[in-house]
Structure 1
Amino acid sequence: MAKPTLFYNAKVILNDTIIPGAVLVEHGKIKAVIPANEFSYVDNYKGHTLIDVRDQYVSPGFIDIHVHGGGGHDFMDGTEEAFTQIAKTHCRFGTTSLVPTTLTTTAERLEETLQSYESVKQYDNDGADFLGIHLEGPYFAMSQRGAQDPRYIRNPDPKEYKSLIDRYKSIVRWSAAPELEGALAFGEHLVANNIIAAIAHTDAIYEDVEKAYQVGYKLMTHFYSAMSGVTRRHAFRYAGVVEAGYLIDGFDVELIADGVHLPNPLLELIYKIKGPERMVLITDAMRAAGTDDTLSILGSRDDGMEVLVEDGVAKLKDRTAFAGSVATADRLVRTMLKLGNIPLTEIIRMISLNPARVMKVEEEKGSIAVGKDADLVVFDANIQVQYTMVKGKIVYERHIE
């Protein structure tokens, strides 16, 4: 049994405030949050692992609900090594929980990835915790496919998705285009099976999204990316998915806040309209995240797409479109801070409590509160991660040479 751990001399980030004090961890849970004016001598905690934070921040761990890879690996590689190494890579940047995400692919490759997840989901991998798997596709609009493989894009197939859901209980969210034939029945089936229905890679108009919302689609995958805005059809204008995301208050929106996918004015607009309660920061990272690679592969090693990595983002080789993010969670926080008008507490909410709520784990994760999992990250004023703790175990410690 690991010794209790005390983080002290800290700036503790709570839901709506930051207090000087300490956080006590025992048996994988947060045992106490101690304000500085109530903190006694460190000598009273003999037998504990004592970590002097030196006036840095202790924050809830970052929760990334949309990530494809990192550290030179992609979940679509379909191996246990890929899953464990991605989890270890992202914990170095403050991620304590993540949702492995697939790409549109063959039925065989998808099953291979799902089976690999089943093998590793309970494994103590010294990295970020897994919260279930996210299927991104294959039920997408071809016109908004982005870097998704067009060979496998199709309409929802009840026989296919019902079989997968019956056999793989680890599926916790699924992204699809709501305007497709059968997409509303698909969404209803997801919700009936306690799976999060998300809108993605879509050319829908407002009326399509409104119907989707009524059957249970409540999340927008990588907001603005691969989705329609205002369009004209036969001289008439129609509001698109982006406008629906703003107008329907109940939608949560994912943001790839890497400073490239969404420029500052759009981030500010989303904050102004949706507010901090409905914004969820994601990396959408591919395998080059956490590496210095300038050439990489989007998707599996043996069937993926070669891409360039430059300007802090992955691109198609002809540079006509982005091909994935190489962001890590700390970069998302720094990007939002640079906007200058968003409090740190709200930014941390976007990458901890909000994603925990979306994934229905807010009772265990997402904030620093007594009884919750001890998923914590220590970082400095530049959001340089010093320690990452998952369920009371330090899985990353920065070593300064």
Structure 2
Amino acid sequence: MKNKLKIINGNIITPYKLIEGGCILIEDGKIIEINRFDIDVNDAEIIDAKGNYVSPGFIDLHVHGGGGYDFMDHSEEAFLSIANLHAQYGTTAMCPTTLTSLKEDLIKTLHFYEKANENNHSGAQFLGMHIEGPYFSMQQRGAQDPRYIRAPDPDEYKEILRWAHLIKRWSAAPELDGAMEFARYLKSVGVLPAIAHTDAIYEDVQEAFENGYTLLTHFYSAMSGVTRRNAYRYAGVVESGYLIDELDLEIIADGIHLPPPLLKLIYKIKGPSRVALITDAMRGAGMGEGESILGDLKNGVKVIIEDGVAKLPDRSAFAGSVATADRLVRTMHFDAGIGLLETIQMITATPARILNVDDKKGSISIGKDADIVLFDRNIKILQTIIKGKSIYRHEEFAERFVEN
């Protein structure tokens, strides 16, 4: 089997510029050469990009499911099916995400993650689990099940973190009792603390940042803004995200959770190096409108998918998105008017840096993994390549292999 792959005639999106009509040479799953002109090499498979864009693979920091599956379905099939679905929309790596639940359910999900990760050969790569909850504010629970919301319990989280090697990040509300100790423990075992579903004020967030919380989960969603307490106004988590320059933000850029004016504001203040685009997709992603379930099939929350988003049955709140990564790029680029290179940075290089995998992923650079997506001017995904292996090709995109 050949281990060399060459992509020709592509508009290559690099960290520094767009290389029009360029060429990329891949060997053993790594990028070994990038050039404005054709690279002369023998015995390589060739993909003719035909003038389409050649981008780094999209990295999704926060995704719950898709294609009718959720990561908390407690099955290897669910993990692999979700990975396969999102690869069709340009995602080459992701953090499978849980919901607020019992400790036993979280541990069970981690075990299925470990099994699925070993057998994931045809979908988006898993970069480590994202534990979302259960340490949240009841007032900012959103679609999270209130039956399982609680304050950090050292005995509980230390038991779960016996599997820290499988966990990349954990989201919690920093104003809860024990949240600072929790963050410090997460950092000690190599897990990224993030702020989510929180009613904190600026002073809480400042302390949290100093203790290791460096990421705001789904910015604006389920978090406090300016509040009044006994006639005095306090800045909330949203304002903290803007004021603390070093805080990273992840945003559901589907145009619904955050409309274009807010997307423009976030970009204007934070810039592409501090903003990561996420889908926060639940099991309804890639499917049609109708009833669905957020979370596992047995204990999950019933939701309705309509208007391009998942809602609680009473329509009082959104319940996770049904976006795919390509939709995020289209929304930021066409609706919010952000440049294509900057938009791609927010779904490639920035999440790679946040997850500390930017030495291997997040850009088309020599020596990095050949995680590459080809798309047209409308951001329709034509082909997805993971570590040099073609995982998905759109049926209308005539891939051409040529032997030298």
Band of TM-score, shorter chain: over 0.9
The aligned residue for residue 388 of structure 1 is 384
1: distance between equivalents of 2:9 and 2:41? 14
Q: Deviations over 1:303-348 (max 9, x none)?
A: 1111111110001111111111000000000000124542111111
1: distance between equivalents of 2:153 and 2:317? 29
| Number of corresponding residues | 396
The aligned residue for residue 36 of structure 2 is 35
User: Is 1:350 aligned to residue 375 of structure 2?
Assistant: no
TM-score by length of 2: 0.96
Structure 2 residue matching 1:259: 3-state secondary structure: coil
1: distance between equivalents of 2:336 and 2:133? 36
Q: Deviations over 1:195-222 (max 9, x none)?
A: 1000000000000000000011000000
Within the candidate set 110, 135, 139, 1:139 is matched to: 135
1: distance between equivalents of 2:55 and 2:99? 31
Structure 1 residue matching 2:220: 3-state secondary structure: coil
CA shift, 1:5, in A, is 1.1
1: distance between equivalents of 2:73 and 2:336? 39
Q: Tell me how large the CA RMSD over aligned residues is.
A: 1.2
1: distance between equivalents of 2:376 and 2:24? 16
The aligned residue for residue 5 of structure 1 is 5
Structure 1 residue matching 2:86: 3-state secondary structure: helix
The aligned residue for residue 401 of structure 2 is none
User: Is 1:26 aligned to residue 22 of structure 2?
Assistant: no
Gaps spanning 5+ residues in structure 1: where?
A: none
Within the candidate set 290, 309, 322, 1:294 is matched to: 290
The aligned residue for residue 211 of structure 1 is 207
- Could you tell me whether the CA contact under 8 Å between 2:263 and 2:336 is conserved in 1? no
2: distance between equivalents of 1:400 and 1:362? 32
Structure 2 residue matching 1:178: 3-state secondary structure: coil
Counterpart AA for 1:310 = E
1: distance between equivalents of 2:28 and 2:220? 42
The aligned residue for residue 318 of structure 1 is 314
- Could you tell me whether the CA contact under 8 Å between 1:255 and 1:279 is conserved in 2? yes
- Could you tell me whether the CA contact under 8 Å between 1:87 and 1:125 is conserved in 2? no
Counterpart AA for 2:3 = K
Within the candidate set 300, 305, 315, 1:304 is matched to: 300
Counterpart AA for 1:359 = L
2: distance between equivalents of 1:310 and 1:384? 22
Counterpart AA for 2:279 = T
Gaps spanning 5+ residues in structure 2: where?
A: 398-404
2: distance between equivalents of 1:165 and 1:384? 39
Percent of aligned pairs with the same residue? 57
Which has the larger displacement, 169-178 or 336-345? 336-345
Q: 1:166-177 counterparts in 2 under 5 A? A: 166-177=162-173
Q: Deviations over 1:267-309 (max 9, x none)?
A: 1111111111100000000001011242211000111111111
The aligned residue for residue 326 of structure 2 is 330
The aligned residue for residue 400 of structure 2 is none
User: Is 1:15 aligned to residue 15 of structure 2?
Assistant: yes
Q: Deviations over 1:227-285 (max 9, x none)?
A: 00000000000000000010001100000000100011111111111111100000000
2: distance between equivalents of 1:218 and 1:366? 19
Structure 2 residue matching 1:347: 3-state secondary structure: helix
2: distance between equivalents of 1:167 and 1:25? 34
Within the candidate set 78, 85, 105, 2:101 is matched to: 105
Structure 1 residue matching 2:257: 3-state secondary structure: coil
- Could you tell me whether the CA contact under 8 Å between 2:261 and 2:336 is conserved in 1? no
CA shift, 1:125, in A, is 2.9
CA shift, 1:194, in A, is 1.4
1: distance between equivalents of 2:2 and 2:276? 33
Residue 68 to residue 121, structure 1, CA distance change in 2 (3 Å)? same
CA shift, 1:46, in A, is 4.6
